Amino acid sequence: MLKAFHGAYCDAHALWRNGKEGVFPAGTYWLAKFVHVCCAPLDTAKPAAGTA
């Protein structure tokens, strides 16, 4: 789960840095609140294996 989050974050961050709009993974609260980037809704986040 963390690797997937990190990969999605890095992809979205690279787009954002280059002036394009990317969707940051769910849970990227600070950027959504203070930088106003697009984030995936929390309901799309899947619980880690063995925690649900």
Higher-pLDDT residue of 10, 29: 10
Cβ within 8 Å of residue 44, ≥6 positions away = 26
The reported pLDDT for the residue numbered 29 is 86
Higher-pLDDT residue of 30, 43: 30
The reported pLDDT for the residue numbered 47 is 65
The reported pLDDT for the residue numbered 51 is 59
Residue 39 contacts residue 24 (beta carbons within 8 Å): yes
Alpha carbon distance 48, 35 (integer Å) = 28
Closest by CA to 44, choosing from 32, 26, 28, is 26
pTM of the predicted model as reported, rounded to 2 decimal places = 0.72
Give the count of beta carbons closer than 10 Å to the beta carbon of residue 46: 10
Q: Which one-letter DSSP state was computed for residue 45?
A: P
* The pLDDT of residue 42 is above 90: no
